[in-house]
Each structure stands twice: as C-alpha cells, then as structure tokens.
Amino acid sequence: MTYLITGGAGFIGSHLVEALLRRGERVVCLDNFNDYYSPDRKWRNITVAQSYPGYSLVQGDVRDRDLVEAIFAQHRPDYVAHLAAMAGPRPSTRNPQLYESVNVGGTVNLLSVAARHGVKGLVLASTSSVYGKSPTPWSEESSTDRPLSPYAATKKAAEVISYTFHHQYGIPTRVVRFFTVYGPRGRPDMTPHLFVDAMVAGRPITLYEGGVGVYRDWTYIDDIIGGVLAALDSHIPYDIFNLGNANPVQLCDFITALEQITGYRAMIEPRPLPAADPPITYANTEKAQRLLGFQPSTTLEEGLSHFWLWYQEKVLQERHAP
Ligand SMILES: NC(=O)c1ccc[n+]([C@@H]2O[C@H](COP(=O)([O-])OP(=O)(O)OC[C@H]3O[C@@H](n4cnc5c(N)ncnc54)[C@H](O)[C@@H]3O)[C@@H](O)[C@H]2O)c1
C-alpha cells in the first residue's frame, strides 16, 4: 500500500514514516522544511527513511493545490496521515494568520484533492489543546468550544471540516488528538528539549506556577505511533480518538525525573502560566483502547531515558562537532 504522510520530516511524522517503511509499505513524505525550528533537524530526521527504496520525498507546501494534485496523480496514495501543521500554542498568538492558513487552509486543500481521488483512509493529527480548560479527565465528548490559543482553534476547525468532507465525499477519517508527545527527535520548542538545553548549559528553566499547579499527560512517541497506525488500519468510517497516557504528571515531578536521568540540576525561574496554556492535560483513553486497541506502555522514566540518550548522541554531539 502507498501512504502519503504530510509533515513527514517532523518529530512525529518522521517516526510514523519509518514505522510504515519497516512494515514494507511505500511512503510519500510531503514536507516544506519550514524554519519554525531548524530545517537541518528535519533533514536529519529523514536520513533513515531515505535509505528505503519505498520512500519518496516531496519538498513542498500542503497549501499548494497543484503540487498536492500532482502527488495524488503520480503516487495514488491509498492512505493519508495529515500531520503537517504549524504546531505550538504560544507562538500561534503572534501569527494567527499563518496558523489559520496552514492548519485550516492546508487541511482543506488536502481534503479537497483526497475527495476527488478517493482514499481508503485518512488520519488527521489534532491536539489535546482543543479541550482548553474543560474539566478533566477529557473524553472525546468533553467540550472543545473554548480553545485557549489560535493554534488550538485552527486544529478544532480542521477537525470539524474533516467531518464535513467525510459526510460529503465519504472519506474514511480518524481524528487523533495527541497529548504532549515526547521522545527522540522531540521538537526543540517543547518542554523536555527546552529544559534539558537549559540544564546542560547551566541556565535557569522557566517554571510555571511553581511546578505545582501544572500537570501534563506525557505520551511517549512509540505509543503515539502505535495509536496512529491503529487509526490508519481501522475501518471506522469517522471518529475522534484521544491518544494520551491517562497519567498526568506534576511539572515539579517531571523536573525531578529529568534531574535523576540526566544528572544535571535544574535552576528555577518562576513565571505565571501563559494564557495559551491549560494548567492540566489529562486524557481519558477508554475509547481508543476499546476501538483501536491503543495501550500506551512506556513509563515516563523509560521515555525520558530514551530522549536523553538521543539528546546526547545527536544534539550534544552535533553542537560540539567542528
Ligand atoms: N508534538 C506534540 O506533542 C503534539 C501534540 C498535539 C498535536 N500535535 C500535532 O502533531 C503533528 C506533528 O507535530 P510535531 O510535533 O511532529 O511537529 P513538527 O513541527 O516537528 O512537524 C510538523 C511538520 O510539518 C511540516 N510543515 C509545516 N507546515 C507545512 C506546510 N505548509 N506544508 C508542508 N509541510 C509543513 C514542518 O516542516 C514539520 O516538519 C502536528 O499536526 C501537530 O499539531 C503534536
């Protein structure tokens, strides 16, 4: 089978691409290698994938109608996983137009072309951010009417229009809401990377609400990829699934775990929580367990150890390379 993975050079996308290639699938990766963070990082993310004969790379923008049309005409993907997006709630407050253009416009463009060509299944990457400050734990039925950032609002909009395309054109669609994903290749703008950067450099880390009032439902990348593969393989016509760990960790406990694993001490710079961030994220994953067999199994300590190993091998070594 042929899979089109948008955003396939990013953190989650590059892991998904490799998992599909290992399974023997053909994979087309569409990514524009934008500079939200270092494009060099993204090129390094795809080095393993490039060694597979079944891998094709298209460097371009998911908003480019002619390009997406050409990809479908040439490769005829059976399945699509749409991960390309401007990610990150806080930066979205500075440039909401860009987030709307990529996350909504890009999704509509992709769905329009997929509708005309027909696909066996489409998975849309969404986010726990859609829940805002709704009471936790969040099931898929929890309110998503009050997103706290333009990023969250654009993801919600993409979810809603994916339903419309399913309804109008019968595209089998599974929406997956990721909960704070971490692991090797983790985004440099996300907490584990930012904290380890600061700890290694002897700089203070920004600690919101004293680390006491903030909880995150950290979900390891391999567990997420298991959920995305199950969503791709599923025959459910349309549904929404939480992919989280169902085990929120207090920020101060997260820092203690990082200190123990890295051997570095964290210096603390206290700050109030930004308005774009919810104090707690907490997934109810009962539906994903029941319908997708989703069963995250990586403990925070295991996952952070893998992250730290990758960080030392790749990030620190590259930084010190001549
Ligand atoms: N990492 C998380 O914790 C998390 C949580 C919730 C949701 N998500 C969602 O998962 C998806 C993947 O996130 P990630 O953490 O891997 O982010 P990422 O930034 O590493 O990956 C996104 C990729 O999309 C590409 N891209 C962006 N705009 C594009 C465009 N216009 N055309 C083509 N490619 C484009 C980027 O170059 C990047 O490689 C995103 O949709 C994100 O919103 C991630």
Residue from 55, 151, 182, 215 carrying the catalytic annotation: 151
Mean pLDDT, residues 267-296 taken together? 95
**In this predicted structure, what is the pLDDT of residue 227?**
98
* pLDDT, tens digit, 9 for 90 and up, residues 50-91: 999 999 999 999 999 999 999 999 999 999 999 999 999 999
Tell me what percent of the residues of the chain surpass a pLDDT of 90: 93
Q: What is the pLDDT of residues 105-135, one digit of tens each?
A: 999 999 999 999 999 999 999 999 999 999 9
**Two structure tokens written together for 58:** 């298209």
| Percentage above 70 pLDDT, the chain | 100
Q: Where are the beta strands (DSSP E) in the chain?
A: 2-6, 26-31, 55-59, 79-82, 121-127, 173-178, 181-182, 204-208, 215-216, 219-220, 238-243, 249-250, 267-271
Residue 189 has pLDDT above 80, yes or no: yes
Nearest to 11 by CA among 205, 255, 189, 226: 189
CA distance 311 to 293: 31
284 to 23, 142, 145, 167: CA distances (angstroms): 29, 10, 18, 26
Q: What is the pLDDT of residue 276?
A: 86
pLDDT tens profile 149-186: 999 999 999 999 999 999 999 999 999 999 999 999 99
Whether the pLDDT of residue 321 is over 80: the answer is no
- The CA 182 to ligand 1 mean position distance, Å, reads 13
Residue 77 · residue 28 · CB < 8 Å: yes
Q: What average pLDDT does this structure show over 192-219? A: 93
**CB-based pocket (< 6 A), ligand 1:** 6-7, 9-13, 30-34, 36, 42, 61-63, 83-87, 102, 106, 125, 127, 178, 180-181, 187
Most ligand 1 atoms within 8 A of CB, residue of 34, 71, 98, 177 to mutate: 34
Say what the pLDDT of residue 97 is. 98
Structure confidence at residue 318 (pLDDT): 80
Reply yes or no on whether the pLDDT at 210 is more than 70.
yes
| Residue minimizing CA distance to atom 2 of ligand 1 | 181
For ligand 1, pick from 4, 18, 31 the residue to mutate: most ligand atoms within 8 Å of CB.
31
Look at residue 320 in the predicted model and tell me its pLDDT: 76
Q: Is the pLDDT of residue 7 over 80?
A: yes
Region of 198 (left: φ > 0; alpha: ψ -120 to 50; beta: rest) is: alpha
Query: For the residues 15-26, what does the mean pLDDT come to?
Result: 98
Is the per-residue pLDDT at 284 higher than 70?
yes
For 268-284, what is the mean pLDDT?
Answer: 92
Q: What pLDDT, on the 0 to 100 scale, is given for residue 322? A: 64
pTM (predicted TM-score): 0.98
Question: Torsion angle, CA of 173/178/184/186, rounded to 10 degrees?
Answer: 110
Q: With beta carbons less than 8 A apart as the criterion, state whether 161 and 224 touch.
A: no
Domains parsed from the chain with CATH numbers = 2-180+219-243 (3.40.50.720), 191-215+247-281+298-320 (3.90.25.10)
106-117 and 150-169 helices, crossing angle to 10°: 20
Residue 304 has pLDDT above 90, yes or no: yes
Assess whether 151 carries a catalytic annotation: yes
Phi, psi of 253 (to 5 degrees): -70, -35
Q: Ligand 1: which residue has its CA nearest to atom 26? A: 84
